[in-house]
Structure 1
């Protein structure tokens, strides 16, 4: 894919970008490589929203303290972290096993240190695997998005159910459309 053309297409719509945002987008592009066009677009749109456009892994309620998270989040210490806000112990167990299987960590390392999912490469890997595998809500990318070609507005709206019900589905659909156009401008089809 021609990344210069990709960035030239998306920059007028959602840019300008900081160097950190560019690096984050590049990291997510690398993690999404080889997936169908619409899947890659939604894999990019998700952290654009979930990280508040930083394209860097973040903690749930990052503007609040760890003490606040301890007191208010019923799933503490398995609260949202990363590009996709991984939550709940079962998902951390899945992430630990999947990351260990490909050599991103040692078995049990994420369970011993949940902050490990904040590492950029691990976070991007977890996001793709979780979205493809239905880890978060039971809905997979392939359940709602086409395996070839472009997605419809409705399909991108429905894709939000992969992560978090219908919360902000319209907004994230807009981002997915921008990223899809950019991917096509870069030569993907």
Structure 2
């Protein structure tokens, strides 16, 4: 992703984030979310989520930049960080072992580094895919899931944006959001959410940022506690929480 809109800011002085244009804010929000900072919706509207996400990024760096403004130095750093997200690793999604390795590597790449955290991400993918570690669609056990969902879930916000992936990416606004983050038109081609690379990014990023339910994995599993039961709230309340906790303990032994 090239930050082409933001490069038009003043080269001589800092620009307050609140003064960025609509398109510049969209670009900033997208970059922040790609990096795992909770910038909220990609809507081009300045608000506390965007402000706090940028301030958090500034706090994580050695820059002396004001937390509510952007200049050429902080912009250059942001571009470098976005560029660093690109990886040359070729993942092997053809086997369960290869997919597990891909998930572990993606966790580390996105900053989910504790073994307990990685174990829970693996356990979730394990459960959600019925232990296949292959991206699945909602109601995958039916002969024709798409036809069933079209008939029973006709909402234009939900169909054809029903669950797909290692975890179930749902609703049009989530497809739009993640489409921007992976730079693919998921609104026009929702079936692309089944692509293993895209599904992998969604799985890990959702846990990292709390994009699924507002709860981040680090809220329940961190250096001070390991709550494999309530970590399910990152995805879907406490549905199947005990089963997934047991899977997490199994995966932890293998890490």
Question: What TM-score bracket applies, with the shorter chain setting the length?
Answer: 0.7 to 0.9
Look up the match of 2:189.
113
Q: Is the 8 A contact 1:27 1:121 kept in 2?
A: no
Which residue of 86, 98, 110 maps to 1:23? 98
What SS does structure 1 have at the residue aligned with 2:95?
A: helix
Query: Considering only CA atoms, is the larger Rg found in Structure 1 or Structure 2?
Result: 2
What SS does structure 1 have at the residue aligned with 2:229?
A: helix
Distance in 2, Cα, partners of 1:70 & 1:30: 36
Q: Give runs of aligned pairs for residues 30-109 of structure 1, distance below 5 A.
A: 30-33=105-108, 34-35=111-112, 36-64=114-142, 65=144, 66-73=146-153, 74=155, 75-100=158-183, 105=184, 109=185
Shift of 1:86: 0.7
Q: Give runs of aligned pairs for residues 4-23 of structure 1, distance below 5 A.
A: 20-23=95-98
**Please, which runs of 5 or more residues in structure 1 have no aligned partner?**
1-18, 184-189
What SS does structure 1 have at the residue aligned with 2:254?
A: helix
Shift of 1:57: 0.3
Q: Is the 8 A contact 1:20 1:54 kept in 2?
A: no
Distance in 2, Cα, partners of 1:38 & 1:93: 31
Look up the match of 2:237.
165
What SS does structure 2 have at the residue aligned with 1:135?
A: coil
More helix by share: 1
What SS does structure 2 have at the residue aligned with 1:32?
A: helix
**Please, which runs of 5 or more residues in structure 2 have no aligned partner?**
1-93
What SS does structure 1 have at the residue aligned with 2:150?
A: helix
Which stretches of structure 1, 4 residues or longer, exceed 3 Å deviation after superposition?
Answer: none
